[in-house]
Structure 1
């Protein structure tokens, strides 16, 4: 390097008679000292600049790290989705209807083959259309694995137009063939006729008190009677019985000519004796299970409605037509809210 050559050409240092004290002294000229200082300064700058460059070259030339092998994890079955369960059940219902009607006829066989492609190579001994499913409903849906379902369908199978038929049960394996958001369905095999699924031996207990005939002195019973009459027969204004913000529409066309309230059961604690004749404070609620009979030309039909009432301006109004009656919790009745 340059600074080493200049150092070799520098004039020798003359020894003096001064004893060595640890400090070096020279007899360089002023010009030589200036040159020596410049060399040292530029060498220091060179080292400072070369440091980052050398470090970058070392990083670039280093071998890339080798990733540790990752063991593939076995695919896990996705949790059952309610949308997928409904879709697979709907496909199975259509599939069983087509299967019951399928046979040697071209039209019936083609309809069934569209749902089960393997049927194109099948030969049928029965004639197409010899039987038909007047109704088919999924009664049990079970997920076997991700995208694979077992659906039990109850089909009422009749042999002729005059035959009311009987209910038979078919188990169908249904497979999803599409991705999320664009699912399609296909049958994995032919249906298997099976026994009827086990049924509940007892009726679930509801969270209502003892049912009794509606009291003529109870304004709540009068509201319920007027509401159901307008709702099911189309006679009377429905809105007059509704709380503000409650949106309900009468059944159209009206299926009944009259409605009779048979009995009423109260959710939670029943009002004290005589309390039904008092004006209720605003906001008080009552939840009722109402048994009614709808009258029509063919005779009466019993029905049950779970209705929530709310007090406002000294009268009862319908706040909600509940989706289902309240079930008892652990076999005990729940306390009523606002009663």
Structure 2
């Protein structure tokens, strides 16, 4: 035991006791602050605890079933084949510096240019008429070349497309082929001939005359809610109905049937303007309402969402 301790009878000196008391007071204050901080941070701590841990692994999204997998459609390179064939036919090996020759060579560097001799008919346009998709992004596009002398030749252009459909390349020289044959026309479903003086034929004729000539109010022939865009760039003065036929037997009735009855009609007309007579054909759907037929579908007609006629 030290002399200082012995002199105080085993008690700590006054200075040491003061230091101990100050330390205890500081600990008490820190403890109070800790309690207030814990109370203030309690809601925040709960909110933080509710957040997912960044280290926690996320579950992988389930793979789509085979029934929902969508394979993107292959891009059709018909337009690319049209452009190439037009440039190829308008180019010549003797003038590789021409714009058409440079374009053809840029699209197919390995394909030789033609060598025209003498006067050639001028190419008017090239139009794709058929395309066939093969494996590995390979395509064969049949392109019709129409000339100024009204002759037409057909060429098969081999084209390859990448997986995204954003890049194409001509893989070989075009080959002249036979053009597509004319398909057999199926029998028309419009088998009910409308009486020329019947109420339905009269409605169709009046509607088309008003619509094509622009004389009169076409809305009076339309069913409620139907809107029809006006024609532009036309100057028909009159028309004549050549033939009108329908699918449903109700169209040939002498009187208008019950409200809600629908019929689909195909009408062939001859429209007259200053330049001559033009054979035109239209398909319409008419609906019976209040003792008369109204046009409920026609060409670009659209059903308006409310606000239609009543």
- Structures share fold, TM-score greater than 0.5: yes
1:28 — aligned with what? Answer: none
Shift of 1:112: 2.0
1:171 — aligned with what? Answer: 156
1:95 — aligned with what? Answer: 84
Residues 20-40 of structure 1: per-residue CA shift (max 9 Å, x gap):
xxxxxxxxxxxxxxxxxxxxx
Contact 2:265 / 2:284 at 8 angstroms: preserved in 1?
yes
Q: State the alpha-carbon separation in 2 of the partners of residues 238 and 128 from structure 1.
A: 58
Q: State the alpha-carbon separation in 2 of the partners of residues 110 and 168 from structure 1.
A: 23
2:257 — aligned with what? Answer: 280
2:219 — aligned with what? Answer: 239
Contact 2:264 / 2:285 at 8 angstroms: preserved in 1?
yes
Structure 1 pair 147/252, CA: closer, same or farther in 2 (3 Å)? same
Contact 2:101 / 2:113 at 8 angstroms: preserved in 1?
no
Structure 1 pair 258/169, CA: closer, same or farther in 2 (3 Å)? same
Q: State the alpha-carbon separation in 1 of the partners of residues 119 and 170 from structure 2.
A: 21
1:313 to 281, 290, 296: 290
Given the alignment of the two structures, is residue 84 of structure 1 paired with residue 75 of structure 2, yes or no? yes
Query: Following superposition of structure 1 onto structure 2, how do residues 317-336 of structure 1 map, counting pairs within 5 Å?
Result: 317-321=294-298
Q: State the alpha-carbon separation in 2 of the partners of residues 283 and 138 from structure 1.
A: 44
TM normalised by structure 1 equals 0.59
1:155 — aligned with what? Answer: 145
2:177 — aligned with what? Answer: 194
Q: State the alpha-carbon separation in 2 of the partners of residues 129 and 245 from structure 1.
A: 60
The list of structure 1 runs, each at least 4 consecutive aligned residues, that deviate by more than 4 angstroms after superposition, is: 127-131
More deviation, 221-230/147-156: 221-230
Which blocks of at least 5 consecutive residues in structure 1 are unaligned? 1-77, 159-163, 324-339
Name which one, 1 or 2, has greater alpha-carbon Rg.
1
Shift of 1:118: 3.0
Q: State the alpha-carbon separation in 2 of the partners of residues 187 and 280 from structure 1.
A: 60
Q: State the alpha-carbon separation in 2 of the partners of residues 284 and 92 from structure 1.
A: 49
Contact 2:191 / 2:246 at 8 angstroms: preserved in 1?
yes
Q: Say which SS state the counterpart of residue 117 (structure 1) adopts.
A: coil
Shift of 1:244: 2.7
Contact 1:211 / 1:266 at 8 angstroms: preserved in 2?
yes
Which blocks of at least 5 consecutive residues in structure 2 are unaligned? 1-69, 301-310
1:74 — aligned with what? Answer: none
1:184 — aligned with what? Answer: 167
Q: State the alpha-carbon separation in 2 of the partners of residues 175 and 283 from structure 1.
A: 53
Contact 1:154 / 1:167 at 8 angstroms: preserved in 2?
yes
Q: State the alpha-carbon separation in 2 of the partners of residues 107 and 214 from structure 1.
A: 59
Shift of 1:264: 0.7
Contact 1:100 / 1:132 at 8 angstroms: preserved in 2?
no
Aligned Cα root-mean-square deviation (Å): 2.9
Given the alignment of the two structures, is residue 204 of structure 1 paired with residue 189 of structure 2, yes or no? no
Shift of 1:312: 2.4
Query: Following superposition of structure 1 onto structure 2, how do residues 1-339 of structure 1 map, counting pairs within 5 Å?
Result: 81=73, 84-85=75-76, 88-103=77-92, 104-105=94-95, 106-119=98-111, 122=112, 124-126=114-116, 130-158=120-148, 164-177=149-162, 179-180=163-164, 183-200=166-183, 202-211=184-193, 214-215=196-197, 217-218=198-199, 220-254=200-234, 256-271=236-251, 275-276=253-254, 278-321=255-298
Structure 1 pair 157/213, CA: closer, same or farther in 2 (3 Å)? farther
Shift of 1:290: 0.6
TM normalised by structure 2 equals 0.64
Shift of 1:193: 0.9
Q: Say which SS state the counterpart of residue 231 (structure 1) adopts.
A: helix
Contact 1:209 / 1:269 at 8 angstroms: preserved in 2?
no
Q: State the alpha-carbon separation in 2 of the partners of residues 128 and 176 from structure 1.
A: 36
Q: Say which SS state the counterpart of residue 190 (structure 1) adopts.
A: coil
Contact 2:132 / 2:141 at 8 angstroms: preserved in 1?
yes
